[in-house]
């Protein structure tokens, strides 16, 4: 369309989050269709915006990255785009590179962030096996100025549209460049994330005496992270899929995700071969207290702030006994929950089930 409409020289800025030589592909198409006398400059300007904080990320960017061809025309195009950003971004925060460096930097940034999450999640399994506390380990490691504390919060696993997609993109590039060892290294980041989601799901089943058949389980949070309604690659899908396959009945609440989206995700052909059975086993709620009523267990899948402030005494009274909480985001006060009477399980710390009764179905106080 650009080639058809353009009447003069153009700078085309590519901001794709799937930058497998995207700028090069755009240039090839434009040059194949360009009109005589019209010149195109293609710039790579990947975005580093996070869902829920995108406007702030744009206005107060850590850096702006602009990649262009290493030609006089390419340098001029980079300067013109830099001039636009300099209206609100300090010039020292605007980095200029060649096109390949710019596109690869976007993949590398997300790969490094995902790698940190998988690294701390791998240690959470070690902590549970040894009696260590992954939060204490993460704090000790994060105080090292060479490492820092960001993205060292153990959890049920990362999700969203970017991390897995960009790592798979990086793996694809490595395989095409005949770098199988490098591809395998980054594949392990995804493998560890998948393992963490399966491991957490299995912990729920094992803690409930190795069966969740016909047991009602409340799922609080379905988005891949707080402050968004995005469910792409959310860990909640894996957790729900596993529990449904084992015969559980699910009561789901999320403050932003539409009920239709939850059902669509859980009945997708890649998740289940029996969508009608899933629809019968899943109930969507507009209120967290409704979701937990008469359930055997409560599972935190998204770190919504409102979950921290819930009245857990009221929740405990309304649940079947013994009442379980599985905190997949490590956001709750676990000691307080145990004092109330909950049996608590979380990521990266082993809790003892003192005085646990094996009798199920004790009527809740509604």
Q: Cite the active site residues.
A: 162
Please list, in sequence order, all residues whose beta carbon lies within 8 angstroms of the beta carbon of residue 166, skipping any fewer than 6 positions away. 17, 18, 106, 107, 110, 111
d(C-alpha 205, C-alpha 322), whole Å: 14
- How wide is the angle at C-alpha 250 spanned by C-alphas 244 and 254, nearest 5°? 120
d(C-alpha 214, C-alpha 246), whole Å: 9
d(C-alpha 324, C-alpha 337), whole Å: 10
What's the half-sphere exposure (Cβ side, CA atoms, 13 Å) at 2?
Answer: 19
Q: Are 43 and 77 in contact (CB under 8 A)?
A: yes
φ/ψ of 96, rounded to 5, equals: -115, 135
Strand order in the sheet with 40-44: 10-14, 40-44, 64-68, 94-98
Query: What number of residues does the chain have?
Result: 366
């Amino acid at each position: 369309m650009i080639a058809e409409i353009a009447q003069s020289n153009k700078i085309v800025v590519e901001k794709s989050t799937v930058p497998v030589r995207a700028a090069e592909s755009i240039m090839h198409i434009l040059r194949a269709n360009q009109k005589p006398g019209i010149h195109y400059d293609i710039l790579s300007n990947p975005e580093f915006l996070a869902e829920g904080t995108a406007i702030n990320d744009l206005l107060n960017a850590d850096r702006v990255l602009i990649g262009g061809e290493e030609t006089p025309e390419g340098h001029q195009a980079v300067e013109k785009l830099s001039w636009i950003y300099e209206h609100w971004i300090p010039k020292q925060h605007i980095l200029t590179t060649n096109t390949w460096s710019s596109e690869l930097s976007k993949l590398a940034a997300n790969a490094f962030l995902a790698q940190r999450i998988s690294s701390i999640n791998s240690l959470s399994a070690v902590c549970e096996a040894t009696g260590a506390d992954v939060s204490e380990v993460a704090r000790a490691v994060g105080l090292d100025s060479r490492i820092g504390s960001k993205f060292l919060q153990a959890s049920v696993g990362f999700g969203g549209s970017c991390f897995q997609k960009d790592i798979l993109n990086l793996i694809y590039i490595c395989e095409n460049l005949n770098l199988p060892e490098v591809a395998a290294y980054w594949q392990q980041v995804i493998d560890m994330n998948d393992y963490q989601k399966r491991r957490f799901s299995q912990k729920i089943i094992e803690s409930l005496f190795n069966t969740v058949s016909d047991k009602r389980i409340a799922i609080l949070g379905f988005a891949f992270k707080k402050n968004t309604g995005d469910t792409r690659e959310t860990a909640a899908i894996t957790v729900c899929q596993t529990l449904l396959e084992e015969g559980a009945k699910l009561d789901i609440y999320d403050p932003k995700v539409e009920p239709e989206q939850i059902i669509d995700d859980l009945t997708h052909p890649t998740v289940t071969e029996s969508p009608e059975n899933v629809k019968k086993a899943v109930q969507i709620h507009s209120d967290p207290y409704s979701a937990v009523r008469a359930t055997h267990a409560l599972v935190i899948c998204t770190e919504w702030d409102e979950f921290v402030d819930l009245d857990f005494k009221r929740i405990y009274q309304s649940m079947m006994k013994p009442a379980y909480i599985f905190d997949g985001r490590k956001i709750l006060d676990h000691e307080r929950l145990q004092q109330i009477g909950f049996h608590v399980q979380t990521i990266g710390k082993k809790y003892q089930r003192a005085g646990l009764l094996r009798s199920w179905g004790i009527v809740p106080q509604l």
